[in-house]
A and B are shown apart, each in its own frame.
Chain A
Amino acid sequence: MTDRRLGGLSERLEAGRQRLDELPRWKADLVVLLGAVGLTYLVFGVVGLLSGVSTNEITGFLYTVTFFGAVFGLLTLALNLHWGYTGLFNIGVAGFMAVGVYTMAVLTADPTGSPAGFGLPIPIGVVGGVLAAAAVGAVIALPALRVRADYFAIVTLGFSEIVRLSITSGSLRQIEFGDTVYGTGGGSGIRYTPVDSVVPWLLDLPGIGVAGDTLYGIAAAGGVSQSVVNRLLYALVLIAFVVVCYLSLQRIARSPFGRILKAIREDEIVARSLGKNTQLAKIKVFALGCGLMGLAGILWIGSRSLATPESFMPIVTFYIFVALIIGGAGSNTGSVAGAFVFAAFLWEGPRFLRTILRANLDTRSPPTIYDAGVDLLAADPMPLVGYFIGSLDELRWVLIGVVLVVLMIYRPNGLFGDRKEIAAAVDLSNRGGGSNE
């Protein structure tokens, strides 16, 4: 009986696999991606419920995963456009995000605030931020494209540090202009209306207002507050941005322009000798990617009400790098998948684990690891466990570092295998009809 049922299950799995195989590669990837996302939510939810974490915490956790999955997804897509498609090794992501966010902040901040802004509506601020990031990207690209890949990396890192040090600097903190004091606010940052306030504003509009009231009403009946509804709607907005970006990038990748990019990555001299203007293509694609990084920064940092230089440390760039490498550089689907896996398991996963452990274990954390070691010698391992739980943020970084090294040694093409799209329209290396895998 069980055998037959199992047999039926495996048959159905087999049938499903065949259906997947018949789909084009990227569609199959998409199915796997959505399945993995759903499964992750389910597993986290069930594990959380079983281990006695409160429903509120689980919802909060799933929201955070979605939020970071989406913003990292946007950033990873942008970086993939630079590195995965064109081979431009940009490690200044944080700097381009900072340009976007600070431009948005200055454009939309309250004119009476300190530092003051121009008080423009949020959409103008967002567009302005994206354009500023793209423009700065184009300027950086102009000369920097002449240098080697590893030098290019150092130039972009240097640029992102220049941006961060400049916005931190006291000399740009306050710039008097007539009677108003503009500026970056230095280390204490600049305040503005967060971009996610667009959601309640939209729901307040005359036409949609009715729908908004109904939505709030339904939510209130289910015991969910308005702010939670707003956050969930903002997460949906983010997902919409990811989908739109994904589809447009997918389209670019398949266009003649996309083929030039891939040709540059494979061999720039060949592309140039075929009469392609590779310099122009590189500048365009660099500006496009930087604009997207600015947008992602605005959606991420801009949804807080304060931007400080602290949010743009060079390490932010490496979050995105790890996400891209997990997914496998060179494929948009891989980028989004990598960003989600990074957000769920490396970014929020350890925190979730800590919540579970704290709910179930007595984990007082001793002040130093030495005290924990002394207790360990006295045959009490709990203080050491408590210490490690207490220093989970550091442990998470160790984990990220180790994952990066292990991936580079064993799976340099990403966790999901080689997804790199070839430059030619037809796979010239695969004429025998056999599969590569």
Chain B
Amino acid sequence: MSITGLQTRLRDLSIQEAFGLALAVGVVILTVDLVRLVAVGELAFDRLLSLLWNGFVDSLYIGLAAIGLSMTYSILRFANFSHGDLITVGAFSGWTVAYLIGGIGAAGFGSRLLLDADGGASARELGMNVVGSPLAILLGLVAAAVLTVLIALAVDRLVYKKLRRAGGITLLIASVGVALTLRYLIAIVYTQDARGLVASAPVWEPAWLPVGPINLHELTLVGAALALIIGVHLLLQYTKLGKSMRAMSDNRDLALVTGISTERVITATWIIGAGLAGVAGYLIVLDRSQITINLGWFLLLLVFAAVILGGIGSIYGALAGSLVIGTTINLSLVWLPSDLNEVAAFTLMILVLLIKPEGLFAGVETA
């Protein structure tokens, strides 16, 4: 491009493009600064690697939730504010099953059923880790998916089905009502107290691997999440159901004309979306041990950020967006104090919305 061409181009810059340019310049400056920090040794390379790894782990559970949110957004056409509370439902229901199975004989039935609400079933005494009670944890994982799906289908039948023809904002408000109801029903049963549910993670130190000790809970999270993501990819690409779901979110009317059953696709959307959200909630607790009724609600805005970054409707976009968000909240710790990392993620989300409302991977709807 010639100099004069560049000049006219700069003169005609719209606000949007100016914001975009500023963001791009910011990203470049931060990258250069990162290289400089590592080069002068102010930031240890090990620390950088561990930040990136944490970003990857965070992006996996954000991604699991984001797939479902993106699917409901594109197929049911509304921003589902109750998606965060499906994550919470998965965490509580899954761990209840894990406690019921894993703690037999070690603690009273009531304490296990209510996840240690009365302090009668401590995770350490129950041996709640993947080595101590692997079967309970695996069954809990399955239960988290199944029970969350059942709840989501029940909610769809009771609420969203009656609003199929309503506008996006009406559905959004109804989903806020669903979110409050779910969250505080959980609070009535399990109480509002935050508590740790998982015993400290066992580590695995293979002599033949050049890395430090591996946290087995983190490894379980990564393995389960990656398996599910690949599973969803195969389902969407290679089954008839997947094809009809993609068709429906691309062009609803055309899909209807070709004889795709709306209700069946919607049911499938809830099954996949809620199942993944439930598993995400369960895995977050496995990794962090802490559980509260606000678990999913506090995560929801990050998940929205991921979905918006990736462009609504594209699950690969949602995954890429999750990677960006997960990396942002961890890598920003290089410059920001730890209580401002989410501010960085939300600011990034707002900037992208202003620059490219269609998302970073626009045009790749549901591919």
Residues of A within 8 A of B (CB): 89, 143-144, 146-151, 153-155, 157-159, 161-162, 165-166, 168-171, 318, 321, 325, 367-371, 374, 388, 391, 394-395, 397-398, 400-405, 408-409, 412
C-alpha gap A147/B172 in the complex (Å): 17
B357 → chain A, closest Cβ, in Å? 5
CA distance A114 to B150 in the complex (A): 52
Determine if B353 and A405 form an interchain contact, defined as CB atoms under 8 angstroms apart: no
Q: Which residue on chain A has the smallest CB distance to residue B182?
A: A401
- Chain A residues with CB below 8 A from B354, complex form: 143-144, 146-147
B339 touches A169 (CB 8 A): yes
Nearest Cβ on chain A to B25's Cβ, whole angstroms: 17
A134 to B113, alpha carbons, bound, how many Å? 50
Q: Does B169 contact A (CB under 8 A)?
A: yes
Q: Which residues of chain B are within 8 angstroms of A165 by Cβ–Cβ distance?
A: 339-340, 342-343, 346
| Contact, CB under 8 Å: A368 / B110 | yes
Asked if B192 is at the interface (CB within 8 A of a chain A CB), the reply is yes
Q: Is the CB of B169 within 8 A of A402?
A: no
Contact stretch, chosen from B99-107, B126-134, B300-308: B300-308
Task: Find B110's partner among A371, A405, A408 (CB 8 Å cutoff).
Answer: A371
**Does A169 lie within 8 Å of B337, measured CB to CB?**
yes
Does B187 count as interface, using CB distance less than 8 angstroms? yes
Beyond A147-B353, A397-B180, list 16 extra A-B contacts (CB 8 Å): A144-B350, A147-B357, A148-B357, A154-B79, A158-B301, A158-B346, A161-B346, A165-B340, A165-B343, A166-B340, A166-B343, A325-B173, A368-B191, A391-B191, A401-B177, A405-B174
Residues from chain B with a CB closer than 8 A to the CB of A409 are 159, 162-163, 174
Q: Can you list 8 A-B contacts (CB < 8 A)?
A: A149-B168, A155-B353, A161-B301, A368-B191, A370-B118, A395-B184, A395-B188, A405-B181
Q: Mark B317-361, 1 if CB is under 8 A from A, else 0.
A: 000000000000000000001011011001101100110010000
Of A171, A370, A402, A405, which is in contact with the most chain B CB atoms at under 10 Å from its CB? A405
Known: A151-B353, A369-B114, A370-B114. A321 touches B179 (CB 8 A): no
Residues of A with C-beta under 8 A to B118: 367-368, 370
Interface size on B, residues (CB 8 A): 52
**Complex: A328 Cα to B285 Cα, angstroms:** 40
Q: Kindly identify which residue among B179, B185, B308 contacts A154, using a CB–CB cutoff of 8 Å.
A: B308
The dominant DSSP class at the B interface is helix
Beta-carbon nearest neighbor of A374 in chain B: B110
Q: Are B339 and A151 in contact (CB under 8 A)?
A: no
Contacts of A146 in B (CB 8 A): 16, 354, 357
Contacts of B346 in A (CB 8 A): 158-159, 161-162, 165
User: Known: A166-B340, A369-B188. Contact between A405 and B308, CB under 8 A?
Assistant: no
Whether B179 lies near A401 (C-beta < 8 A) is: yes
Where chain A touches its partner, the secondary structure class is helix
Residues of B within 8 A of A403 (CB): 177
Taking a contact as CB atoms under 8 Å apart, the answer to whether B177 and A158 are in contact is no
A404/B174 in contact, CB under 8 A: yes
In contact, A161 and B357 (Cβ under 8 angstroms): no
Nearest-CB residue, chain A, relative to B171: A408
Asked if A321 meets B353 with Cβ closer than 8 Å, knowing A369-B189, A370-B110, A394-B184, the reply is no
Q: Which of B29-79 contact A (CB under 8 A)?
A: 78-79
- B residues 214-249 near A (Cβ < 8 Å) are none
Residues in B neighbouring A367, C-beta threshold 8 A: 118
Please give the distance in Å from A35's CB to the nearest CB on chain B: 29
Is the Cβ of A149 less than 8 Å from the Cβ of B301? no
Instruction: Name the A residues within 8 Å of B171 (CB-CB).
Output: 408
Residue B199 at the A interface, CB < 8 A? Answer: no
Interface residues of B in 169-210 (CB under 8 A from A): 169-174, 176-185, 187-189, 191-192
Q: Is B15 an interface residue (CB 8 A)?
A: yes
A422 to B34 CA separation, bound complex (whole angstroms): 56
Alpha-carbon distance A144/B353, docked complex (angstroms): 8
From A371, A374, A401, name the one whose CB has the most chain B CB atoms within 10 angstroms: A401
Bound complex: CA A370 to CA B116 (Å): 11
Q: Is the CB of B184 within 8 A of A401?
A: yes
* Beta-carbon nearest neighbor of A159 in chain B: B350
Among B110, B177, B182, B192, point to the contact of A404 (Cβ < 8 A). B177
B117 interface residue (CB < 8 Å to A): yes
Docked CA distance A168–B298 (Å): 15
Closest beta carbon of chain A to B313's beta carbon, Å: 13
The answer to whether B340 touches A318, judged by C-beta atoms less than 8 angstroms apart, is no
User: Is B342 a contact of A370 with CB atoms below 8 Å?
Assistant: no
Q: Shortest beta-carbon distance, A190 to chain B, in Å? A: 17
Residues of B within 8 A of A402 (CB): 177, 181
A374 to B184, CA, bound (A): 22
B6 within 8 A of A: no
Please, which residue of chain A has its CB at the minimum distance from the CB of B162?
Answer: A409
Other-chain contact of B350, A150, A158, A391, A405 (Cβ < 8 Å): A158
Residues of B within 8 A of A155 (CB): 350, 353
